[in-house]
Amino acid sequence: MNVSIDSFPNSPHGWTIESAEDAAKENDITMSDDHWQLLAALQEYYAKVEYPKLRQIKDALEEKFHSQGGIKYLHRLIPSGPVAMGCKLAGLEVPVGAVDKSFGSVA
């Protein structure tokens, strides 16, 4: 994926590729084409849905990345949570329930 702002037509106002790269570095994530595809997919989903819910986001990502292994693949890509960290990198609001510190789990 050639990473340019044109690759992210649904990016939130003020979001930049540089901000995603900076956040990735802070979280020890080395961005690859698959990471950028995840961010674009999350931004696209958020642009379509007024109130994104965790389960719906996970289902949409499972479908979109099914050929690579779905949500399990995305957890290998971003162990700190493909939805929670993916949303942070994409400049999106993390959905309720994506991080449950009482259980130590991350979606």
| Domain ranges for the chain | 14-106
Instruction: Indicate if the pLDDT at residue 75 is higher than 70.
Output: yes
The whole-chain average pLDDT of the chain stands at 91
Backbone angles phi, psi at 106, to 5 degrees: -140, 140
Instruction: Indicate if the pLDDT at residue 1 is higher than 60.
Output: no
Model pLDDT, residue 77: 94
Instruction: Indicate if the pLDDT at residue 42 is higher than 90.
Output: yes
- Quote the CA–CA distance of 52 and 42 in Å, as a whole number: 10
Q: Is pTM, for the whole model, over 0.75?
A: yes
- Give the mean model confidence (pLDDT) for residues 79-94: 94
Instruction: Indicate if the pLDDT at residue 104 is higher than 60.
Output: no
Instruction: Indicate if the pLDDT at residue 41 is higher than 90.
Output: yes
Secondary structure class of 105 (helix, strand, coil): strand
- Give the mean model confidence (pLDDT) for residues 6-22: 95
